[in-house]
Structure 1
Amino acid sequence: MYDNLGSQPGMQRPTNAQSTPFGNSFYGAGSGLIRGGLGAYGEKILGSSSEYVQSNISRYFSDPQYYFQVNDQYVRNKLKVVLLPFLHRGHWTRITEPVGGRLSYKPPIYDINAPDLYIPFMAFGTYVVLSGFSLGLNGKFSPEALNWLFIKGLVGWFLQVSLLKMSLFSLGSGEAPLLDIVAYAGYMFTGLCIAVLGKIMLSYSYYFLMPWTCLCMGVFLVKTMKRVLFAEAVKIVGVVIESSGVL
């Protein structure tokens, strides 16, 4: 009955809610204010969150492409600095340049003191190959032994990174980019390659080359970590001065 009545022309169904022009206007204005307020608040939260995430990512995880901008001249000079740090007469500070309104470090191709990942990865691969060749000369080579060398190298690299990171953190500077620490720790494989190569050529030379390369690596890391600590101290002083309104 009600369906037939509602389907007749000229007949309208009764509505439960009565609308008034004042109610509609108030409702539209209120919903607009609510939507605008929530939108601005959400945009503010998302904007601040994205800025926070980007600042922390750039602080702890730099662009990986930065660490592979090298050439032959840089590789030769960097190997001299790592293996013979006593002969490095230049400064140990990194070169900065303004990029996008902020200071950024120049890539390794333009700065000998910049860390790179090309040498550590190449040195790690060379170390595994030379160690496997040394095992073959002694009749101890096997795929399992080569896999074990690879795993030991990665574990040693990880432990070196952890040690450097904890050392910086204990000294009050734990904000160095992670890839910088990975690069600094990976330079140890250059000395290991020299020691293993000496063992292949003359077995007794290993016992002289290994302490020497460890000493050179220690001097290199001390000077490098000292530079990192000094750079962080200067950054903190600059932030304090700027926040105090002196500048």
Structure 2
Amino acid sequence: MNYNNSGARRGKPKRILDPSANLAPTASSTPQSPYMYNQQMPMNNIPQQQEYGFNMPDPSTQAYGFNPSTIPQQMPMPMPMQQPSMQYNQNEPPRIDTFVPTQFPTQLLAEPIVTNMALKYGDALVDTGKQHLEKYVPVTAIKYYFAVDTDYVFLKLALLFFPFTHTDWSVKYEQDVPLQPRYEKNAPDMYIPTMAFLTYVVMAGLLLGTQERFSPEQLGIVASSALAWSVLELVIHTVTLYTMNLDTSLRTLDLLAYCGYKYVGINAALLLSLLLGRLGYYIVIGYFSISLAFFLIRSLKLRVIPEGHSTYTAIGNKRRLYFILFVAALQSVFMWWLSYHLVE
């Protein structure tokens, strides 16, 4: 293809619009389409309202050729339709603006038949649980040993310290069942031994504090060692009864109660040691060892060697007497062993 530009006019190309000359092209009588490329329209001839139903941007106020007001606003999100109610009234049409939960479970539980069935089922579960618990823990027997009152506690403590004037050591029965400790002061209990054991731990902490030897670890050692020695003592007495082949009316909780009374004398000895030192401690330990031994011999005699029982022979009674003396003597040994290291 041959290109010949000899006929073309040389020089600068003709400028269509010179801004420095403040000239504008003459508007055509026929309106031109605003969508034609690279077309300029006079600013004073821009129609304000088009027939298409939207406003054209004003070039004098918009630098970039668009008007934010012409941007369609975001439509609000429609509200979710609520679930209609499950309850309907025959007199009014169903409403779908609110949701009322059904009251069927509440109405069902309010029925007398259902309530009675639930109560019976709960009682059956409780009875079954008690039966399973009784196989491992004698709850009823433990409740018997804690059936005490204030009068019994004072009378029992006085009997432990001054048993020499007491004459009637028998335990009364009602329909082959021994009376509760609150009605019979000769009956063994677990309340006084338990409270005496806890008081012993507190007294040990007090004495260790006055001697500047207190620490939580030391207090835990005292409590755990005393508990271990009590369990060991109970095992020794049980094995002794089995080895000697002694048939007695003593129970395991009876032995635990009788052996727990020694903590009463230990607390009294530790308390007096704060005032009189070692002298007061040994005075109380010696006296309470004698009184506790007398108390145990008279109390255990009726439980180990019942009067008027035809099956017990003389040889068997001698073994039972040895067992009673062994229990009484062992209490003074444990009293000294559990308390001597707490006194300076």
**Match of 1:108, SS?**
coil
- Looking at structure 2, the residues matched to 226 and 175 of structure 1 have their Cα atoms a distance apart, in angstroms, of 11
Which of the numbers 157, 160, 177 marks the counterpart of 1:104?
177
1:130-164 CA-to-partner distances (Å, cap 9, x unmatched) read: 11101110111111110111012112222332343
Shift of 1:234: 3.0
- Looking at structure 2, the residues matched to 86 and 151 of structure 1 have their Cα atoms a distance apart, in angstroms, of 34
- Looking at structure 2, the residues matched to 142 and 232 of structure 1 have their Cα atoms a distance apart, in angstroms, of 52
Amino acid at match of 1:105: P
Matching of residue 139 in structure 1 with residue 212 in structure 2? yes
Percentage of matched positions with identical amino acids: 32
Partner residue in 2 for 1:11: none
Matching of residue 182 in structure 1 with residue 259 in structure 2? no
Partner residue in 2 for 1:23: none
Which of the numbers 200, 223, 232 marks the counterpart of 2:298?
223
Shift of 1:233: 7.3
Structure 1, unaligned stretches of length 5 or more? Answer: 1-56, 238-247
Give the direction of change, closer, same or farther, for the CA distance of 1:166–1:154 in structure 2 (3 Å limit): same
Give the direction of change, closer, same or farther, for the CA distance of 1:164–1:233 in structure 2 (3 Å limit): farther
Shift of 1:93: 1.1
Greater relative contact order, per chain length (Cα 8 Å cut-off, separation 6+): 1
1:163-206 CA-to-partner distances (Å, cap 9, x unmatched) read: 43345442723552111111111111001110111112221200
- Looking at structure 2, the residues matched to 175 and 62 of structure 1 have their Cα atoms a distance apart, in angstroms, of 18
What pairs up with 1:185-196 in 2 under 5 angstroms? 185-196=259-270
Is the helix fraction higher in 1 or 2?
A: 1
Shift of 1:236: 5.0
Across the aligned residues of Structure 1 and Structure 2, the Cα RMSD in angstroms comes to 2.8
Which of the numbers 165, 173, 176 marks the counterpart of 2:247?
173
1:99-154 CA-to-partner distances (Å, cap 9, x unmatched) read: xxxx1101101101111110000000001101110111011111111011101211
- Looking at structure 1, the residues matched to 139 and 309 of structure 2 have their Cα atoms a distance apart, in angstroms, of 21
Which of the numbers 111, 129, 138 marks the counterpart of 2:202?
129
What pairs up with 1:44-55 in 2 under 5 angstroms? none
Shift of 1:88: 1.8
Structure 2, unaligned stretches of length 5 or more? Answer: 1-134, 313-344
Which of the numbers 211, 218, 226 marks the counterpart of 2:286?
211
Matching of residue 157 in structure 1 with residue 248 in structure 2? no
**Match of 1:86, SS?**
coil
- Looking at structure 2, the residues matched to 156 and 183 of structure 1 have their Cα atoms a distance apart, in angstroms, of 14
Give the direction of change, closer, same or farther, for the CA distance of 1:85–1:164 in structure 2 (3 Å limit): farther
**Match of 2:174, SS?**
strand
Amino acid at match of 1:122: M
Amino acid at match of 2:229: G
Q: With the length of structure 2 as denominator, give the TM-score of the two structures.
A: 0.47
- Looking at structure 2, the residues matched to 208 and 190 of structure 1 have their Cα atoms a distance apart, in angstroms, of 14
Amino acid at match of 1:234: H
Q: How many residues align?
A: 177
Q: Please say if residues 165 and 174 of structure 1, whose CA atoms lie closer than 8 Å, have aligned partners that are also in contact.
A: no
Partner residue in 2 for 1:68: 146
Matching of residue 95 in structure 1 with residue 172 in structure 2? yes
Higher Cα radius of gyration: 2
- Looking at structure 2, the residues matched to 233 and 155 of structure 1 have their Cα atoms a distance apart, in angstroms, of 38
Amino acid at match of 1:147: G
Amino acid at match of 1:225: L
- Looking at structure 2, the residues matched to 64 and 173 of structure 1 have their Cα atoms a distance apart, in angstroms, of 22
Which region of structure 1 is more displaced relative to structure 2, 154-163 or 65-74? 154-163
Q: Please say if residues 156 and 185 of structure 2, whose CA atoms lie closer than 8 Å, have aligned partners that are also in contact.
A: yes
**Match of 1:109, SS?**
coil
Q: Please say if residues 173 and 232 of structure 1, whose CA atoms lie closer than 8 Å, have aligned partners that are also in contact.
A: no
Give the direction of change, closer, same or farther, for the CA distance of 1:220–1:199 in structure 2 (3 Å limit): same
Q: Please say if residues 61 and 179 of structure 1, whose CA atoms lie closer than 8 Å, have aligned partners that are also in contact.
A: no
Amino acid at match of 1:217: L
Shift of 1:232: 8.7
Give the direction of change, closer, same or farther, for the CA distance of 1:233–1:147 in structure 2 (3 Å limit): farther
- Looking at structure 2, the residues matched to 191 and 106 of structure 1 have their Cα atoms a distance apart, in angstroms, of 26
